[in-house]
Amino acid sequence: MSTKKHTGQIATIDGNEAAAYVAHKINEVCAIYPITPSSPMGELADEWSTRGRKNIWGAKPLVIEMQSEGGASGAVHGSLQRGALTTTFTASQGLMLMLPNMFKIAGELTSTVFHVAARQVSTHALTIFAEHSDVMTARTTGFGLMPSGSIQEVMDNALIAQAASLEARVPFVHFFDGFRSSHEIQKIEVIPDEVMAAMIDDDLVKAHRERAMDPDNPVLRGTAQNPDHYFQARETVNPYYLATPGIVQKYMDKFAELTGRQYHLFDYVGHPEAERVITLMGSGSEAVHETVEYLADKGEKVGLLKVRLYRPFSAEHFNEALPKTVKSIAALDRTKEPGAAGEPLYQDTVTAVAESVMAGNGWSGAMPNVIGGRYGLSSKEFTPAMIKGVFDEMKKEQPKNHFTVGIHDDVTETNLDWDEEFSTESEKVHRGLFYGLGSDGTVSANKNSIKIIGEETDNYVQGYFVYDSKKAGAQTVSHLRFSPEPVRSTYLIKQANFVGCHQWTFLDQYDILKSAQPGATFLVNSQFGPDEVWDELPKKVQEQIIEKNLDFYVIDAYKIAKDIGLGTRINTIMQTCFFALSDILPQDEAIQKIKDFIKKTYGKKGEKIVEMNFNAVDQAIENMHKVEVPAEVTSDRGMPATVAEEAPDFVKNVEAKIMANKGDEIPVSAFPAGGTFPTGTAKWEKRNIALEIPVLDPDVCIQCNKCSIVCPHATIRPKVFPESALENAPETFKAMKVRGRGFPDDYMYALQVAPEDCTGCGLCVEVCPAKNKEQTGRKAINMEPQPPIREQEAENWEFFLTLPEYDRRELKTQTVKESQYLEPLFEFSGACAGCGETPYVKLASQMFGDRMIVANATGCSSIFGGNLPTTPWTKNKKGRGPTWSNSLFEDNAEFGFGFRIAIDKQREFATELVEKLKNDIGTELADAILNADQSDEAGIADQRERVAELKEKLDSMEETVDVRNLRETADTLVKKSVWIMGGDGWAYDIGYGGLDHVLASGRDVNVLVLDTEVYSNTGGQMSKATPRGAVTKFAAAGKPSAKKDLGKMAMSYENVYVARIAIGAKDAQTVKALLEAESYDGPSLIIAYSPCIEHGYDLAKGSEQQELAVDSGYWPLYRFDPRLKEQGKNLLQLDSKAPKIPLKDYAYRETRYKILKKVDPERAEMLMEQAQEDVNKQWESYERMAADFNGEAK
Amino acid sequence: MDLTTTYLGMDLKNPIVPSASPLSEKIDNIKKMEDHGAAAVVLYSLFEEEIEHEEMELHYHTTRGSDIYPEALSYYPEHEEYLTGPDLYLEHIRKAKEAVDIPIIGSLNGITKGGWLKYAKEMEEAGADALELNIYFLATDPEKNAREIEDNYIEILEEVKRNIEIPVAVKLSPFFSSIAEMAHRLDMGGADGLVLFNRFYQPDIDLDRLEVVPNVLLSTPMDMRLPLRWIGILHDQVKSDLAATSGIHNAEDALKMIMAGANVTQMASALLKYGISRIKSVLVDMEHWMEINEYESIRQMHGSMSHKAVGNPGDFERANYIKMLQSYTMEGIV
């Protein structure tokens, strides 16, 4: 055992911070690009540099955001070539985009470490969770691969990898599991600077710098070579790779001397005479470690071989590390390589063992049997029970090979069985489970609790958080462990001794007490007091409390929070209750620590917040009550069905289980192979997240439908229908005579809210222009509490859906009012309440949904559009609706372009066949089909009828190849509307090259850019759409440059329809622009102003804010229509007036701008002046173009 | 010509002091005020509610959406410190003090006895030469009696006086049943000066939008009558200095106020309307008037037409009101 020389400070941090901490200390340049789950590493590095934190050489590292990971890796490559110590952080697709540069960097023997939060690479679906499919894809690049399993290892290996890379000249990917490690919080020892300085050899740094490209000592790299010599030149690197394992071990040993923490290339844990050994890498090895110790203690001859250096793979060290008694090895991979002889580690294990045997360096007995299996894909749970299942399998004479563990594979029967009851959890470990809503602050409180316990007690701590994919009304589950011994339980808590339910409604939705162990403490936040709460509980909860003999406590945290002024933030209250009940610290001390943390967390933002939270702590103690648990169950309330009985089977059997947190139970056979899912499923997920919903006052309503057009979730809808349809209307259903011309006299109007789908954002009420004349504070719609009217309005909503849709052909869809009588085919998404993107998406679905094919860039819109369990894209009663897919982030324009060219080709083929078969089809029908005008709804409907007739004709004709081919392609003769959607991160940055190419192609595609001016989905990082002066991640000091003018760039092609729109400012212009763009037979680009929570204001005021954006000239509205050239008109038409308010009157209503005044007022003033100048220049330029642009660019 | 006066224990070169307004948000404007002859500057007000609102807003929006969705656990970069609370204001005082030689008077606006009062101390530490306490309380609660509200004014003043050394003026509203008694109580409570009067925010109605809208109207010369009367009445009844504000647009207005008993005259609307250079023209006109009318100093005229000093004190009182009304009616009939 080495003598420990340096003691680091204790910190309670997650894996991302651990890696970034070291990377920032020992590098000079970080070139990055945000991608989940690695984004926080870049963000932290940027924040630290912004604050002036120095590396170990006393310099402040330069952190630079690029336009893509491809760009980041290029910048890293260049920076390394210039001799700067350079790093990057990435994951998943990001690593894929870096691969070309990684081959180069490794081929050039360049020292660097890429820190990767390992995540799945998108296949049939995207997932943001842990897998090794990304890092395993990098195996061929020549980078070394170094996995970490715990948060301490993440920090330690980040340093060891860098030290070794400098000497070995082999670059490394240092990886750890996404979320499980990147986001898991543990108490660790921080590596002191002197240890880093001792590990990083200055001579090697000097040598690295001396290899820099330098005109004073010029060299040539990146040559092109030919068959006669490339091969030989490629083999020159061999000695470096051969030496690398030894070098890594050398630095592991040196690190041990400095810190006392000893690692080996392969670390063995377990029985010294183990017969069954599991080998794996990453966080799973922690759970196996825990299980092996437990089983070995009971005398089982089991062991674990942790892989710490996976590439270069040292078979020699691998074999040496295995006990010679081993009879069976299971190599577990957190990745899937379909079609391979086995997953990567399995193949390496077989090779290592077999080569050893072949070389005669063998084993005491026969060659061990090696089996391989997959586990933990997309962070699938990997528990001691499953691990024991693997060990049990290894006992068999013919163990299953190429198995899976953790799922039920009833298709190819790959899975091993496991005993759910098996647990290795120690009684010494305190395990707390907390169920909260994202918005109630449960997670942030628990993060503070972990820090308090980690930093103020001798306990080891672990915090892991499970989030929802919904952005509004989302559930969070916090898993907290505290223990006097190190915590290696890299799996969710199954036996909790504390369960906190922070939302009363969860008791009816989820089996909250399933994981409560007998005798556990149960705390619930409830509006019911200690004397009445028992009778309000569902039956199952009562049964569980009695059966498990739980200590039951209640507090009305919402009331306290509201009284104090904290709104719905009950975090401090619930946190205090937890400390009061858990006995981890004496109560007085705990309260003091909580208050200290409150001061630390909130103090810099003002005393009022601190004061309110202090008050919350005091009130919590006073208002928490123990509930006397009766001996008998008194409730007969069962848990309601997750979805309605009439839901389709797939929704009931698969999606409803996912909704109920039972997704792990679904077998393989339940899923469609290939990732194709039905649309129209969001309507079955009744989330009931709105506290208040809009309620119509028919006497005031003017039927303008403005509420409907701005609704982000399609939950308030108007309909016009014959009075006779009201025959079976529920008593409370509201309908009135339809106003306006064009509708039959006996037609009625209804405006109905979907009460269980509404998010309560209030946008509709804000935009409602109709005020009650007797009481001007009230409008035609007013927000009212949802629970008392939920049932009644749900019935009304169901009735509303049965009312007939008005004939699309008869509607004047170019008007805001009548566009809203079109059925939305995008509804009830998981977007944020008040989302600024979804109104545009919904409007497009109303206008073109029945013929729409959508390519959606990865980002917010692909998540709210396509994240299971249920999805918002839906279909009409005829079964038509948008068909939607997400390819990647970077390729969306090209992906949608692919739709277009396929359709064009298929239609061309169909057209040729119609011509060819004209005589058989009938000339009249054939000509009608070929010459159809499909520029409006009526034209499309007529063509659909013709094509249906054509198909009938074809069925009656003799079957030939042409007939068959025409039948299969005939539907392409009906117009298909190709839409390419995505955010500004895609359109302005990562996907711009492709977008530019697609726009230049002249093909008929409609590009909708949902411009939130930041990377919203990954947490608000700067994009080139970000305006000057706004504070975002990577622009903490306010973006110093102006927003890129994407529209103007597109206009330069002259054959692209371009519109800049803001639905809240001028809805009529938005409607017009969408119609014009879609009707234009060429590329169209629509740039849509999209309010986002990142802008930092109440999104209910989104429309008002859009008006200000337009009035200030910041967001000029225009349409640029190449068709006008023929008419001799200006192509550019400005739809808004010259700026009439200063930019600051718009900007300083938003926190993203205002925050800079709180951080650096002088810079804020300077940037605001420059931003005003940007606005002035922009307007002058557009005005000039609108005046002069007469078909010719000036 | 001697234009000097004293106010809150400070010797001022003349009686023209720009009152709290957005103009003083810019240091350049404060410099201009000095250049054009202002004797002191009352800075824009630091509002109790604004401090709290800004803190809460910053906290809410920078944490909103945090720890909800796994890909975006936060939306803003974390800064090491934020200039919340009075930080920016205090910094502004420091900068103003560096930029000009004339006294800088801080202005604190609030209604409770809460923690905001400590900002008075911080203003003093930042270098403010004096403090103007603007207690703006709109009594809308029918359960709250007048004495309670008046006591609150006094308690706030006393609390501030206990904690700071620099002089304190209280800017008060004219809406007390007994202004004289209230002034007296504030005087006894330690007010070094009284500023007459505060101009309340008075909302308007937008008939097109059917909304109550903020509508700040600049004062007109007509508005000076109210403070003119009360300065005249209070001049001999309180020890506190008196500052006149509201409706002072030209030299004549200022002279009237001084004669009624004002130590200084504060201007805001006129500066917003005509520009900061208005100070200079008022001073020039003032000197010109004094020359023509053979006044040697401001002190000479100070209070010369106060309630007591005028031959007929009733001119400031109700009797004069009846007389005025009668004359108006008669004029109307004629």
Residues A950-985: tens digit of each pLDDT: 999 999 999 999 999 999 999 999 999 999 999 999
Whole-angstrom distance, CA of residue A914 vs CA of residue A918: 6
Read off the CATH number of the domain in which B269 is found.
3.20.20.70
Instruction: List pLDDT tens digits, range A436-475.
Output: 998 888 999 999 999 999 988 999 999 999 998 888 888 9
Report the chain B residue with the minimal C-alpha distance to residue A441: B67
Q: Are residues A513 and A401 in the same domain?
A: no
Q: Which domain holds residue A796?
A: 686-822
Report the chain B residue with the minimal C-alpha distance to residue A831: B69
Is A660 part of any domain? Answer: no
Return the closest-CA partner of residue A860 out of A1104, A1046, A1090, A1073. A1090
Read off the CATH number of the domain in which A434 is found.
3.40.920.10
Whole-angstrom distance, CA of residue A81 vs CA of residue A555: 61
Could you report how far apart the first and last alpha carbons of chain B are, in Å? 46
Q: Are residues B324 and B232 in the same domain?
A: no
Instruction: List pLDDT tens digits, range A730-743.
Output: 999 999 999 987 89
Q: Are residues B107 and B213 in the same domain?
A: yes
Contacts of B22 in chain A (CB under 8 A): none
Which residues, other chains included, contact A258 with Cβ-Cβ below 8 Å and sequence gap of 6+?
A: A5, A6, A195, A198, A199
In the block, tokens 């003090």 appear at B97
Whole-angstrom distance, CA of residue B152 vs CA of residue A564: 23
Q: How far is A1021 from chain B (nearest CA, A)?
A: 8
- Would the CB atoms of B67 and A474 count as touching at under 8 Å? no
Return the closest-CA partner of residue A1114 out of A1035, A1033, A1177. A1177
Q: Are residues A1001 and A925 in the same domain?
A: no
The pair phi, psi for residue A980, each rounded to 5°, is -120, 110
Q: Are residues A276 and A176 in the same domain?
A: no
Residues of A annotated as catalytic are 36, 69, 119, 1017
- Fill in the amino acid letter for B53: H
Is residue B328 very low, low, confident or very high in pLDDT (cuts 50, 70, 90)?
very low
Q: Are residues B315 and B262 in the same domain?
A: no
Read off the CATH number of the domain in which A1096 is found.
3.40.50.970
* Pairing status of strand A692-696 against strand A781-785: antiparallel
Contacts of A1159 in chain B (CB under 8 A): 79, 81-83
Beta-bridge partners for A851: none
Q: Are residues A352 and A488 in the same domain?
A: no
Q: Residue A1131, SS3?
A: coil
- Would the CB atoms of A609 and B68 count as touching at under 8 Å? no
Q: Are residues A447 and A557 in the same domain?
A: yes
The pair phi, psi for residue A558, each rounded to 5°, is -65, -40
- Would the CB atoms of B76 and A609 count as touching at under 8 Å? no
As a whole number, mean pLDDT of residues B73-96 equals 91
Burial A455-471 (b: 16+ CB within 10 A, else e): ebbebbbbbbbbbbbbb
Whether A1091 shows a pLDDT value over 80: the answer reads yes
- Would the CB atoms of B61 and A1151 count as touching at under 8 Å? yes
Is A840 part of any domain? Answer: no
Contacts of B75 in chain A (CB under 8 A): 1019-1020, 1093-1094, 1096
Which pLDDT score is estimated for A453? 94
Q: Are residues B312 and B208 in the same domain?
A: no
Report the chain A residue with the minimal C-alpha distance to residue B71: A1018
Q: Are residues A928 and A1034 in the same domain?
A: no
Which pLDDT score is estimated for B325? 53
Instruction: List pLDDT tens digits, range B40-71.
Output: 999 999 988 888 888 888 988 988 889 999 99
Q: Are residues B285 and B324 in the same domain?
A: no
Chain A, chain B: beta-carbon pairs less than 8 Å apart:
146
A778, A742 Cβ separation under 8 angstroms: no
Does A832 reach chain B within 8 Å, measured CB to CB?
yes
Is residue A365 very low, low, confident or very high in pLDDT (cuts 50, 70, 90)?
low
Of A39, A467, A1154, the CB nearest to B68: A467
Average pLDDT score over chain A:
95
Q: Are residues B68 and B186 in the same domain?
A: yes
Among A973, A1005, A1024, the domain boundary falls at: A973
Is residue B116 very low, low, confident or very high in pLDDT (cuts 50, 70, 90)?
confident
A404, A432 Cβ separation under 8 angstroms: no
Q: Are residues B318 and B197 in the same domain?
A: no
Tokens of B314: 């009733």
- Would the CB atoms of B84 and A606 count as touching at under 8 Å? yes
The pair phi, psi for residue A182, each rounded to 5°, is -65, -30
Contacts of B52 in chain A (CB under 8 A): 606, 608
Contacts of A179 in chain B (CB under 8 A): 70
Whole-angstrom distance, CA of residue A205 vs CA of residue A184: 33
Q: Are residues A964 and A994 in the same domain?
A: no
Is A654 part of any domain? Answer: no
Give whole-number Cα distances, A975 to A239, A914, A944, in Å: 62, 16, 9
Instruction: List pLDDT tens digits, range A1049-1067.
Output: 999 999 999 999 999 999 9
Which pLDDT score is estimated for A172? 98
Read off the CATH number of the domain in which A352 is found.
3.40.50.920
- Fill in the amino acid letter for B159: E
Q: Residue A1101, SS3?
A: helix
- Would the CB atoms of A1161 and B88 count as touching at under 8 Å? yes
Contacts of B94 in chain A (CB under 8 A): none
Q: Which residues of B touch A (CB under 8 A)?
A: 51-52, 54-59, 61-85, 88, 91, 115, 210-211
As a whole number, mean pLDDT of residues B254-279 equals 96
Tokens of A913: 């066949």
Q: Are residues B113 and B65 in the same domain?
A: yes
Does A1033 reach chain B within 8 Å, measured CB to CB?
yes
Element (H, E) at A749: strand A747-753
Is A878 part of any domain? Answer: no
Which pLDDT score is estimated for A244? 98
Return the closest-CA partner of residue A945 out of A1137, A1051, A809. A809
> What radius of gyration do chain A's Cα atoms show?
32
E strands, A973-1020, where? 977-983, 1006-1011, 1014-1015
- Would the CB atoms of A36 and B70 count as touching at under 8 Å? yes
Q: How far is B194 from chain A (nearest CA, A)?
A: 30
Tokens of A847: 């206008």
Percent of all residues in chain A with a pLDDT value above 70, rounded to a whole number:
99
Task: Output the DSSP codes for B109-155.
Answer: EE-SSSGGGHHHHHHHHHT-SEEEEEE------TTS-HHHHHHHHHH
Q: Residue A40, SS3?
A: helix
Is A841 part of any domain? Answer: no
Is A868 part of any domain? Answer: no
Does A859 reach chain B within 8 Å, measured CB to CB?
no
Tokens of A505: 């409604």
In the block, tokens 């310099």 appear at A59
The most distant pair of C-alpha atoms in chain A lies apart, rounded to whole Å, by: 98
Sheet holding A977-983, edge to edge: A883-885, A852-856, A977-983, A1006-1011, A1084-1089, A1057-1061, A1118-1120, A1132-1134
Q: Are residues B292 and B217 in the same domain?
A: yes
* CB-count exposure of residue A36 (10 Å: 0-12, 13-18, 19+): buried
B-facing residues of A in 50-79 (CB < 8 A) are 50-51
Is A164 part of any domain? Answer: yes
Number of residues that make up chain B: 334
A191, A10 Cβ separation under 8 angstroms: no
| Lowest mean pLDDT, pick from A928-942, A1040-1054, B101-115 | B101-115
- Would the CB atoms of A183 and B70 count as touching at under 8 Å? yes
Which pLDDT score is estimated for B329? 45
Q: Are residues A703 and A588 in the same domain?
A: no
Q: How far is B326 from chain A (nearest CA, A)?
A: 42
Which residues, other chains included, contact A89 with Cβ-Cβ below 8 Å and sequence gap of 6+?
A: A19, A20, A23, A30, A32, A38, A39, A41, A42, A45, A114, A115, A116, A117
Q: How far is A738 from chain B (nearest CA, A)?
A: 25
As a whole number, mean pLDDT of residues A584-599 equals 91
Whole-angstrom distance, CA of residue A600 vs CA of residue A602: 6
Whole-angstrom distance, CA of residue A1165 vs CA of residue A350: 65
> What radius of gyration do chain B's Cα atoms show?
22
Contacts of A1018 in chain B (CB under 8 A): 71-72
Which residues, other chains included, contact B131 with Cβ-Cβ below 8 Å and sequence gap of 6+?
A: B105, B106, B107, B108, B120, B123, B124, B160, B164, B166, B167, B168, B169
Instruction: List pLDDT tens digits, range B192-242.
Output: 999 999 877 778 899 988 888 877 778 888 889 999 999 999 999 999 999
Give whole-number Cα distances, B95 to B30, B51, B101, in Å: 10, 20, 11
Whole-angstrom distance, CA of residue A175 vs CA of residue A190: 18
Q: How far is B167 from chain A (nearest CA, A)?
A: 27
The pair phi, psi for residue A126, each rounded to 5°, is -90, 140
- The counts of H helices and E strands in chain A are 43, 36
Q: Residue B178, SS3?
A: coil
Whole-angstrom distance, CA of residue A257 vs CA of residue B5: 78
B-facing residues of A in 1000-1019 (CB < 8 A) are 1016-1019
As a whole number, mean pLDDT of residues A202-216 equals 97
| Lowest mean pLDDT, pick from A506-515, A660-669, B106-115 | B106-115
Whether A1 shows a pLDDT value over 80: the answer reads no
Burial A1064-1077 (b: 16+ CB within 10 A, else e): bbbbebbbbbbbbb
Number of domains in chain A: 6
Give whole-number Cα distances, A614 to A445, A523, A596, A967, B69, in Å: 14, 21, 10, 73, 27
The pair phi, psi for residue A233, each rounded to 5°, is -65, -35
B49, B112 Cβ separation under 8 angstroms: no
Beta-bridge partners for B105: B42, B130
As a whole number, mean pLDDT of residues A743-750 equals 95
Q: Are residues A992 and A967 in the same domain?
A: no
Count other Cβ atoms within 10 Å, centred on residue A1134.
19
Q: How far is A115 from chain B (nearest CA, A)?
A: 18
Whether B188 shows a pLDDT value over 50: the answer reads yes
Of B68, B73, B75, the CB nearest to A1094: B75
Is residue B331 very low, low, confident or very high in pLDDT (cuts 50, 70, 90)?
very low
Which pLDDT score is estimated for B309? 80
- Would the CB atoms of B64 and A1093 count as touching at under 8 Å? yes
* Pairing status of strand B211-213 against strand B204-206: antiparallel
Q: Which domain holds residue B239?
A: 5-303
Q: Are residues A603 and A619 in the same domain?
A: yes
Whole-angstrom distance, CA of residue A1058 vs CA of residue A10: 56
Contacts of B25 in chain A (CB under 8 A): none
- Would the CB atoms of B72 and A1016 count as touching at under 8 Å? yes
Whole-angstrom distance, CA of residue B87 vs CA of residue A1159: 11
The most distant pair of C-alpha atoms in chain B lies apart, rounded to whole Å, by: 83
Which pLDDT score is estimated for B324? 54
Q: Are residues B213 and B331 in the same domain?
A: no
Give whole-number Cα distances, B33 to B131, B270, B280, in Å: 19, 13, 9
Tokens of A876: 């009409």
Percent of all residues in chain A with a pLDDT value above 90, rounded to a whole number:
94
Q: Are residues A956 and A931 in the same domain?
A: yes
Q: Are residues A121 and A190 in the same domain?
A: yes
Whole-angstrom distance, CA of residue A548 vs CA of residue A495: 12
As a whole number, mean pLDDT of residues A802-823 equals 95
- Would the CB atoms of A469 and B65 count as touching at under 8 Å? no
Which pLDDT score is estimated for B322? 57
Whether B330 shows a pLDDT value over 60: the answer reads no
Number of domains in chain B: 2
Q: How far is B54 from chain A (nearest CA, A)?
A: 9
Q: Are residues B21 and B159 in the same domain?
A: yes
- Would the CB atoms of B67 and A1159 count as touching at under 8 Å? no
Whether B321 shows a pLDDT value over 70: the answer reads no
The pair phi, psi for residue A652, each rounded to 5°, is -70, -40
Q: Are residues B173 and B315 in the same domain?
A: no
Is A667 part of any domain? Answer: no
A22, A198 Cβ separation under 8 angstroms: no
Which residues, other chains included, contact A795 with Cβ-Cβ below 8 Å and sequence gap of 6+?
A: A730, A732
